Amino acid sequence: MIPNWLMQRAYLTPHKTAFSFGEERWTFWEMKDRALQLAGKLKGQGLASDSRIALLGSSNPEMVFMIQACLLADLEIVMLNSRLTAEELQWQVKDSKAATVLVQDSLRHLVHPNLPVLLFSEVEAGQSMAHVPQELWGPDRTITIMYTSGTTGLPKGVRQTAGNHTSSALSSVLNLGLEEQDVWLCAMPLFHISGFSILVRSLLYGMEVRLYEKFDAVAAAEEIRQGTVTRMSVVATMLNRILQELEKQDQMAHPSFRTMLPGGGPVPVNYLERAAERNMPVLQTYGMTETSSQTATLAAQDAIRKIGSAGKPLFFNQIKINGAHAAGDVGEVLIRGPHVTPGYIGHAATEDPLRDGWLPTGDLGYIDEEGYLFIVDRRSDLIISGGENIYPAEIENILASHPAVLEAGVCGQAHPEWGTVPVAFIVKQGEVTADTLTAFCEERLARYKLPKAYYFVNQLPRNASNKLLRRELKQWAAQQEGHGNLERSD
């Protein structure tokens, strides 16, 4: 059994800072009081224990309190990505059968009018009902559900249990350590596991989270320079921008800044070298929604010696390469451990994420003779753009639904800022322009998923059995680099 995180933490270290936001700060006791009050109001709205709600908000205190309130009210939270379109959100809410969508007032416009909505202000203004939070949670209790797209293009709701989140935080502390003065800067979205897992660590460790509503490279660089934060999670592009800020004024990371944790894809060597010059320890990490954050992490001292490696597994995890007989053999990366999801909800509920007890990641990799993991290739179709996962099939399905499109093939193209961006190859069956297709997609896809270039071709590369040859498509895209007709603007 696992103690209710917030209730236990507020009891153990009531006066420690739980999180700060701008000039404001809250202790664990204050957080618990506020969350308990809100939990009573959620109960007043008739939300029964163990029911499921969807939650849409930004990374601000209101949202943090609402997350904690949902946990105290025994609700399963479907964490909605605020960058998705109304249609995408609607699909997830319906698939998850969420009783209602809890929405921060300012984001009301993102939600389809047909969906049942409960605004944060409505909860606040409503009646309260007495509620005593559970003291202990079973390890299999669902805490969060995050949608991630599969190869079919249909997003799947991944269950992240109390046991998953807890063991992830414990594995991480055995790797990163924990100091009295630790403060974790959170500028990753809370609806992603990268952001949410920081909140979990905070409760287990009794550690302050320094929360930012949006990533701010200038502010982050300043906190790192002054040592007012000691850890930070980023994606590569954020790391680059922070380094640029430090470089501008030839400033170093403060000696007490101990961990820059970049996830969501490989970090360019150039960034690693520049970080080393700024005395900034960078610990590259490999994780995914299905593993409630990090599975493997590379020690800072190995960053250059083991360039390109995702490191070794964290203590409670195991990694192996499917079919490998010797060090260096390439195969699908398989993961096992208490942090691996027990499964999905909704349309994918009957799918078992495991194969013989291991999670097949779809990523190709190898383990070297010292036991370090190297990811050779993300699952061939996956595009990681600025830390967001994009599945070509989802975009192709949308494009193919346009009357003037006969066939569409989507793949990633290198991009100086985002690492990779999606681009589309189109076989027309009528007149259509890139602008028209962009407008068409904008109604149906989150901005970051919009193809950044359209290439009109006579046919797509296919094999004898008519299967799209994605590797060949990527080669085409590489040849076209710089000739795109649209720039990403988010």
Q: Which of 79, 204, 221, 375 binds a copy of itself (CB under 8 A)?
A: 204
- Cα separation, 465 vs 342, in Å, equals 35
CA–CA–CA angle 8, 12, 13 (5° rounding) = 120
State the burial class of residue 455 (Cβ atoms within 10 Å of its Cβ: 0-12, 13-18, 19+).
buried
**122-141 positions binding a copy of itself, by CB under 8 A:** 135
* Segment (H or E) for 210: strand 208-211
Residue 173 contacts a copy of itself per CB under 8 A:
yes
Min CB(340)–a copy of itself separation in Å: 11
Q: Which of 87, 151, 315, 414 binds a copy of itself (CB under 8 A)?
A: 315
Min CB(94)–a copy of itself separation in Å: 36
* Segment (H or E) for 411: strand 405-415
Q: Which of these segments, 120-128, 176-184, 284-292, 322-330, binds a copy of itself (CB under 8 A)? A: 176-184
> Starting at the edge strand that comes first in sequence, how are the strands of the sheet with 454-456 ordered?
405-415, 419-428, 454-456
Q: Which of 43, 231, 306, 312 binds a copy of itself (CB under 8 A)?
A: 312
The residue behind tokens 């896809």 is 445
Min CB(312)–a copy of itself separation in Å: 5
Min CB(161)–a copy of itself separation in Å: 15
Q: Which of these segments, 157-165, 200-208, 302-310, 474-482, binds a copy of itself (CB under 8 A)? A: 200-208
Helix (H, G, I), strand (E, B) or coil at 46: coil
Binding residue count for a copy of itself, defined by CB under 8 A: 25
CA atoms within 13 A on the CB side of 212: 19
Min CB(168)–a copy of itself separation in Å: 13
Q: Are 65 and 89 in contact (CB under 8 A)?
A: no
Residue 304 contacts a copy of itself per CB under 8 A:
no
Min CB(256)–a copy of itself separation in Å: 12
Residue 313 contacts a copy of itself per CB under 8 A:
yes
Give 267's contacts (C-beta < 8 A, 6+ positions apart): 236, 239, 282, 284
State the burial class of residue 357 (Cβ atoms within 10 Å of its Cβ: 0-12, 13-18, 19+).
exposed
Q: Are 10 and 28 in contact (CB under 8 A)?
A: yes
Residue 368 contacts a copy of itself per CB under 8 A:
no
Q: Which is nearer to a copy of itself, 136 or 349 (CB)?
A: 136
Residue 180 contacts a copy of itself per CB under 8 A:
yes
Among residues 195, 164, 205, the alpha carbon closest in space to that of 316 is found at 164
Residue 178 contacts a copy of itself per CB under 8 A:
yes
**229-248 positions binding a copy of itself, by CB under 8 A:** none
Min CB(8)–a copy of itself separation in Å: 6
Q: Which is nearer to a copy of itself, 10 or 382 (CB)?
A: 10
Residue 324 contacts a copy of itself per CB under 8 A:
no
Q: What sign results for the dihedral spanned by CA atoms 141, 284, 256, 209?
A: negative
Tokens of residue 136, six digits: 């202990």
Q: Which of these segments, 46-54, 235-243, 267-275, 314-322, binds a copy of itself (CB under 8 A)? A: 314-322
Tokens of residue 97, six digits: 């059968």
Residue 218 contacts a copy of itself per CB under 8 A:
no
The residue behind tokens 């163990």 is 50
Residue 29 contacts a copy of itself per CB under 8 A:
no
Min CB(276)–a copy of itself separation in Å: 17
State CA 313 to chain mean position distance: 19
In sequence order, the β-bridge partners of residue 415 are 419
- Cα separation, 390 vs 396, in Å, equals 11
Q: Which is nearer to a copy of itself, 203 or 220 (CB)?
A: 203
Tokens of residue 150, six digits: 């599969």
State CA 100 to chain mean position distance: 23
Min CB(88)–a copy of itself separation in Å: 37
Residue 291 contacts a copy of itself per CB under 8 A:
no
Q: Which of these segments, 8-16, 62-70, 113-121, 231-239, binds a copy of itself (CB under 8 A)? A: 8-16
Q: Which is nearer to a copy of itself, 9 or 159 (CB)?
A: 9
Q: Which is nearer to a copy of itself, 311 or 451 (CB)?
A: 311
* φ/ψ of residue 125, rounded to 5: -80, -15
Residue 3 contacts a copy of itself per CB under 8 A:
yes
Q: Are 423 and 455 in contact (CB under 8 A)?
A: yes
Min CB(297)–a copy of itself separation in Å: 10
What character string, x for contact with a copy of itself (CB under 8 A) and - otherwise, covers 9-28?
Answer: x-xx----------------
- Cα separation, 32 vs 11, in Å, equals 9
Using CB under 8 A as the criterion, which residues of the chain lie in contact with a copy of itself when the complex forms?
A: 1-3, 8-9, 11-12, 135, 170, 173-174, 177-180, 204-206, 312-313, 315-316, 318, 338, 371
